[in-house]
Each structure stands twice: as structure tokens, then as C-alpha cells.
Amino acid sequence: MKPKFTRFLVLFISLVLCLITCKAPVNNKAETRNDNRWIEEMTISQLQQGYKDGKYKIADIVKVYLDRINEIDKNGPRLNSIIEINPDALLIAEELDNEAATGKPKGPLFGVPVILKDNIDTHDKMPTTAGATVLKNSFPGTDSFVARKLREAGAVIIAKSNLSEWANFRAKMSSSGWSGVGGQTKNPYVLDRNPCGSSSGSGAAVSANLCMVAIGTETNGSIVCPSNNNGIVGIKPTVGLISRTGIVPISFSQDTPGPMVRTVEDAAITLGALTGIDSSDSKTIASKGKYLTDYTKFLKKDGLNGKRIGLQKKDMGFSDKVDSLMNKTIAYLKSHGAEVVEVEFPKGLNYEDASYQVLLYEFKDGLNKYFAGHGSDSRAKNIKELIEFNKSDSIELRYFDQSILEQAEKKGDLNSPEYRKALADMTKATREEGIDKVMNSYRLDAIMAPTGSPAWKTDLLLGDHFVGGSSSLAAIAGYPAITVPMGFIDDLPVGVTFYGKAWTEPILLEIAYSFEQGTKQRKAPKYRISD
């Protein structure tokens, strides 16, 4: 055999062996994302079955999600949904892996990677900022009730998500998903579209599979709207079902945290892990005998059968395409045993102006108390100092004013006759003269309406372009609502909301789960750029 041919043969064999055994290097971000796409759309049950079968370690799963945050949120499409990554996330995951090896009992969220909206306190190496530069170095001395319950349930808090600054209660005109600390969050379906807020980062992160569960907060629309725009499931619970202790407040009457996830089943699992009475939040006292720690028993595929659902027509009509999806949804509900009846609310229910006055008073009171409890962590000690800080900051007033902060600062205390009258007026209008009256009159199990419109284009000059939504009545009443994807308009998701009386989460879950399982409208985003 000739030497040249021998050398050629050796080189040829070596090349073949390399092709068989060697992995090609990853040269671009798209290929990197391909490597971890196996985790996309995974549910809590699937993940925990994988742990049980020995397929996964918690540390490996957490690393995959952290890699996705770096590849999708910080690079690649640059969603900008994450404010801070927990530097101890992998260490926590390894500790949980060690616990699992000893046979220690596991909680309902064991090994589940969770992201918290960055107005929820965590006692760790991550600050809690509410998106505001004045709190950029604020490290709470204790966990919020929500963070504590998550840790007790076995979850791994891997990051804090961006939000509309101060939960979108700062300026009359603003862009949802923008904060002084985090900048502007993008919508993962079409990147120049808005994720809605204020739980914008939570919604975008869940939709993009940067975590398995996110926790948002809502005062009016801040869970259901970003769930709508980001094509996910969101539950706004009855106020008092989950404690608000350790959450940067807007309203004692309306604030609530809630799960933001990709499936109704995951929503039910997460909801049960967060409930409980908290002596530091008097609203939770009313949940005694009403809250559950396991809502999964209400996940019934025939959950629509026999339900009587009211259709609130006044929340339709803002978009022919949304109405078309609603009509298909109504037809589906009827075909699966539900009765859908059009309902009318009493005329003259003037609750939105009253609610706004309540929010101004309660925001001042609650925020001043939050500042007082965080001592030297904040560069402001009250709302008045916050306003002055923002005037001197180069970022805070670059795009939007602080007119709501200024209005709130001028309000008196919670003994004010104006506040007490507004609170009584809004409560009566939305509860006994509103939802309760209509549901009793029509003998309803729930009320339905479109959650909102497809996502609008983000506009830092003119702010948000809302054209329709249905969050206000349930939010102001403090009653529960759940939104589920019902379809797409072009490449943008739209949801349907089911809401009802206080503490009716079980009924809403039955309806939402049955609808979800029969329609399967959730689709993962593709990070499209507008034409």
C-alpha cells in the first residue's frame, strides 16, 4: 500500500469516527435554544414524575432554566423580562436534591423553578425594587408570606421579574412593562408588542418557558391582562385568599398575588400552595373555612356540564375579531353542557371613580408603611421623599411623569370622610349591587367576558393603547377571576375570563379546566419581529 494512500485512508477513517462520536460545536443562539427546547411547555406533574423516575436532578433543571434566561431574555430576542437572577438558585437546587436523597417528604412544588414579580419581598441576595431606582438596593430582612410558602412547598425561586414600575400606579400615561430598574419588557410572540402589566415580566417569562411558575400581583388587571397578552393562564384570587404581607402595596382593598402559569392544572397546584391565614394581613382572616390547600380535585374534564354562565355583552364590541373568538368559545361551552345567558348589570354602577380615590388613599398609607419597615434600605422614607428623589433622578422621569404619586401624596389618612365614602360606594356597587346581585338574579355559576385585546405596539412616547378589557368589576369587588387562552388573532393570543363571587375559585377552575382541555389554545411563542 502506497504511503500517500495510507495517510489518506487514516484521515478518512478519523473523519468518519469524529462525525459519529463528536458533537458539533454550538455556533449561534438559535442552536443553543434548540438544545433545551425539550423542557418547553413541561408541566409541574411531568417534572415531578421525572424526578420520581430519576430522569432529572433539580440542579440540572434549574440550570436549564437559567441558561434559557441568559439565551432568550438577556441575549437572543432580549425579552428583558428578568430584573435579577438569584445567585443562590443552583445551591438551593442542590440542597433540595440532597433532601430528596434522604427520603424527606416533598411539597407540592418540590423542585419547581419559580420567578417572583419584583414587588414581592425575598430575604436573600436579591433586592426588592418594585422596578423603582429608589429601592434598587433594598434587601428585605424577611421573606414575604408568598416567598415563605413557596420555599415550604419545595419551590426554587430562581429570579425576580420586571414589572410596570410601582405596579403601574405612578403616571396617568405610561408603557406597561417599563420600569426605571428593568427598562421595557417585550412580548415574546411579537417583540415590538406590549406584554401588558403590571406583572409584565412574570407573564413574558412564563410564556417563554424561562420558568415553570411565576407569581404576579393584581390591583386591577395586572395578572389577567399580561396573561392575556402573553398567552398563559392567570388566577386573580379572592382578596384575602393569599396574604399580601411583604408585597409592595397599592391597595389594601384590592391587592392580591396570584399564579401565572401555562396550564390550569399548574395554576391549581400553585394556588393551593400559597393559601393560608396570616395574622399580619387581616384580609386573610375571612378565608378561614374557605381556603383549600389542594385545588386539583376541581380539575374535571366535564366541568362545563350543567354550569350556568353569564355573558357580559358590554365588555364585547371593541374588536370584531375578538368577538368572533368569543362566539366560538360560547358555542364550545354550550356544546359541552354549559348554559350561556346574556346578563345586564344595573345601570349607574359608578364604581371606577370611587375605586380610584380609594387607591390614592391606600397607596399613600400602604407605601409609607412599607418604607418605614425597610429602614435604611430605601433612599426615601415616605411618598413625599420618593417624589423628590424621582425629580433628581436621570432615569425615572425620562419617559413618564409621576402625577399619580403626587395626587396620592396630597391625600389625608384612612379616617378621611372622602375615603370612607368612596370605599363604601365602590364595595356596594361591585358586590351587593353588582356581581352578587346579577349572579343571584340569573342563578349563575360564573360570568364570562373577553380578557382583552391582542397586544398593542409598545409606545414609550404615547403610552399604552388599551381598547378593551374586563378586569375592573372583579378586581374592584375583590372577587376571583381566571383567564385562559381562547385563540389567536394573527400571531397574538387572546384570553377569556371567568369570574364570580368571593371564594368561588373551585367553580372557576372546573369551568376553565374543562374549556382548556377541550380546546388546547396555548401555543409557545416564536419571538417574531413585526413586518
What pLDDT, in 10s, does the model give residues 110-123? Answer: 999 999 999 999 99
Domains of the chain, residue spans: 34-519
Average of per-residue pLDDT across 445-467: 97
State the pLDDT at residue 214. Answer: 99
Determine which one of 199, 222, 227, 453 is catalytic: 222
Average of per-residue pLDDT across 172-201: 98
Sign of the torsion formed by the C-alpha atoms of 113, 117, 121 and 126: positive
pLDDT, tens digit, for every residue of 341-358? 999 999 888 899 999 999
Position 451 pLDDT exceeds 60: yes
Determine which one of 117, 160, 186, 307 is catalytic: 117
Average of per-residue pLDDT across 146-157: 98
DSSP state at residue 517:
H
State the pLDDT at residue 34. Answer: 54
* Three-state SS sequence of 186-242: CCCCECCECCCCCCHHHHHHHHCCCCCEEEEEECCCCCHHHHHHCCCEEEECCCCCC
Among this protein's residues, is 74 annotated catalytic?
no
Percent residues over pLDDT 70 in the chain:
93
Cell of 269: 397546584
pLDDT, tens digit, for every residue of 309-334? 999 999 999 999 999 999 999 999 99
State the pLDDT at residue 456. Answer: 98
- How would residue 376 be classed by pLDDT, with cut points 50, 70 and 90? low
How is 251-291 classified by DSSP, letter by letter? -TTT-EEEEEESSHHHHHHHHHHH----TT-GGGGGGTTT-
Position 25 pLDDT exceeds 60: no
pLDDT, tens digit, for every residue of 278-319? 999 999 999 999 999 999 999 999 999 999 999 999 999 999
State the pLDDT at residue 30. Answer: 31
CB atoms within 10 A of CB 330: 16
Position 9 pLDDT exceeds 80: no
Amino acid at position 39, single letter? I
Distance of CA 496 to the CA centre of its chain: 16
State the pLDDT at residue 530. Answer: 84
SS3 394: coil
Percent residues over pLDDT 90 in the chain:
91
State the pLDDT at residue 329. Answer: 98
Position 20 pLDDT exceeds 60: no
pLDDT, tens digit, for every residue of 432-443? 999 999 999 999
Position 8 pLDDT exceeds 50: no
Among this protein's residues, is 117 annotated catalytic?
yes
Q: Which CATH number fits domain 34-519: 3.30.420.40, 3.90.1300.10, 3.40.190.10, 3.40.50.11140?
A: 3.90.1300.10
pLDDT, tens digit, for every residue of 246-267? 999 999 999 999 999 999 999 9
Mean residue pLDDT of the chain comes to 93
State the pLDDT at residue 17. Answer: 40
Among this protein's residues, is 198 annotated catalytic?
yes
Using a cut of 0.75, tell me whether the model's pTM lies above it.
yes
Amino acid at position 487, single letter? G
Determine which one of 81, 138, 198, 251 is catalytic: 198
pLDDT, tens digit, for every residue of 386-415? 999 999 999 999 999 999 999 999 999 999
Position 480 pLDDT exceeds 50: yes
